């Protein structure tokens, strides 16, 4: 049984972070996203979240460009369409080049809607097997604060901690922190800040004790990543380099990485992400689910993704209260003994508090 989308809505969320999020690329003090809702003829509603940033520091998309594409390009393509499976949305959107974050927001909402139609939690609908997902936190702060932040995360029960690094970061300071917590997994995220000239500097982080180093070089620097994989003992993980299943194949062919970060927003939604998961399984490539300083709608989709078999490393899953005074979902996501329990309710499993969100211009259209 398929669905016919009757109505699509866009609402804006803009809230300050409790603590600034700092990386070598940008400092984020306030976050704006677009919550997408799709409603079928029976009245069921699916939700997605567009997580592009205000400026193009992470990808070429921005929240402003996504708003335009959502309202004026993608929405008209959905007009009058009936879908037998949510992956058909991906096929429909092939007529539009790029704009993966905008596409992902609508596609994710349709997957949520289909799961609700089938009376299944989204994680079951996509083939998930885990009922609880291990929680991981990202520490993006000044070096003087890292030790305290790690201690706080450990006390809160997080099982994995990711630390932002760059060529000026002192690896010896980080090694002393990592050594103090042998029971925790530590990731390093370089956000592409290293290059050919300071390659030897990257090698100094090989003895810190990190499980992996994420995106040491620029997103198209396949040869440098292959060189790092060959020369370092620490596993090399690619994030910004992976925007399609073809990019994963490129990584495999060039032996440029051991692990892939799965980000549905960067890949364009569930359909392409599931193709990436399948390819990684076939080639024994490690996987984990990355975050985008998102609200609960996007995080609920990511939790469903993290429940799939083969995704072995803990992802970017913090409690709602980590970034926000109040999330946009009910109940809020919380961490219990280092894990987040997956909801047994249908779809994403959370109620979305749309009453307190701001409508976008031309925010709703009925078909």
Closest CA to 105 of 73, 128, 147, 133: 73
Spell 273-293 as b/e; 16+ CB within 10 A means b.
bbbbbebbeeeebbbbbbbbb
Q: How far is the CA of 164 from the CAs of 16, 186, 190, 277, 300, in angstroms? A: 21, 11, 6, 25, 24
Out of 159, 164, 235, 299, which one is annotated catalytic? 164
Closest CA to 236 of 248, 224, 221, 225: 225
Closest CA to 121 of 354, 307, 257, 278: 307
Q: Quick check: 115 and 121 in contact, CB under 8 A?
A: yes
In eight-state DSSP terms, residue 240 is: T
Q: Cα–Cα distance between 149 and 147 in angstroms, integer?
A: 5
Cα angle 190, 195, 201; round to 5: 75
Q: Is 164 a catalytic residue?
A: yes
Cα angle 334, 337, 340; round to 5: 40
Residue 284, preceding bond cis, omega within 30 degrees? no
User: Three-class SS of residue 289?
Assistant: strand
In eight-state DSSP terms, residue 11 is: E
Q: How far is the CA of 293 from the CAs of 107, 212, 265, 358, in angstroms? A: 20, 21, 12, 19
Q: Which two tokens stand for residue 326?
A: 């109040």
Q: Cα–Cα distance between 47 and 45 in angstroms, integer?
A: 7
Q: Which two tokens stand for residue 236?
A: 């090399």
Q: Cα–Cα distance between 105 and 34 in angstroms, integer?
A: 8
Out of 87, 116, 229, 263, which one is annotated catalytic? 263
Active-site positions read 164, 263
């Amino acid at each position: 049984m398929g669905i016919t989308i009757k109505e699509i809505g866009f609402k804006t969320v803009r809230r300050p972070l409790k603590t600034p999020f700092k990386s070598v690329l940008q400092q984020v003090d306030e976050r704006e996203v677009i919550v997408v809702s799709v409603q079928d003829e029976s009245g069921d509603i699916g939700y997605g979240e567009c997580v592009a940033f205000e400026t193009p520091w992470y990808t070429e998309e921005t929240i402003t460009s996504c708003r335009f594409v959502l309202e004026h390009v993608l929405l008209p393509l959905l007009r009058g369409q009936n879908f037998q499976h949510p992956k058909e949305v991906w096929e429909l959107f092939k007529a539009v080049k790029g704009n993966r974050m905008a596409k992902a927001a609508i596609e994710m909402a349709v997957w949520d809607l289909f799961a609700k139609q089938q009376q299944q939690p989204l994680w079951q609908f996509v083939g998930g097997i885990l009922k609880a997902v291990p929680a991981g936190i990202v520490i993006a702060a000044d070096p003087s604060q890292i030790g305290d932040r790690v201690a706080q995360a450990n006390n809160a029960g997080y099982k994995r901690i990711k630390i932002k690094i760059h060529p000026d970061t002192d690896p010896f300071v980080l090694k002393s922190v990592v050594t103090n917590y042998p029971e925790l997994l530590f990731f390093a995220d370089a956000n592409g800040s290293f290059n050919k000239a300071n390659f030897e500097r990257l090698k100094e982080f090989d003895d810190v004790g990190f499980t992996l180093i994420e995106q040491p070089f620029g997103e198209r620097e396949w040869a440098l990543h292959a060189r790092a994989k060959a020369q370092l003992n620490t596993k090399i993980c690619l994030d910004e380099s992976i925007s399609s299943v073809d990019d994963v194949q490129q990584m495999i062919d060039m032996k440029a990485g051991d692990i892939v970060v799965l980000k549905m927003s960067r890949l364009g939604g569930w359909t392409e992400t599931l193709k990436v998961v399948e390819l990684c399984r076939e080639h024994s490539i490690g996987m984990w689910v990355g975050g985008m300083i998102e609200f609960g709608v996007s995080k609920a989709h990511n939790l469903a993704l993290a429940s799939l078999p083969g995704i072995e490393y803990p992802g970017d899953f913090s409690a709602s209260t980590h970034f926000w005074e109040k999330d946009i979902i009910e109940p809020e996501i919380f961490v219990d003994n280092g894990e987040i329990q997956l909801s047994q309710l249908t779809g994403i499993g959370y109620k979305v508090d749309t009453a307190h969100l701001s409508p976008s211009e031309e925010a709703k259209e009925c078909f």
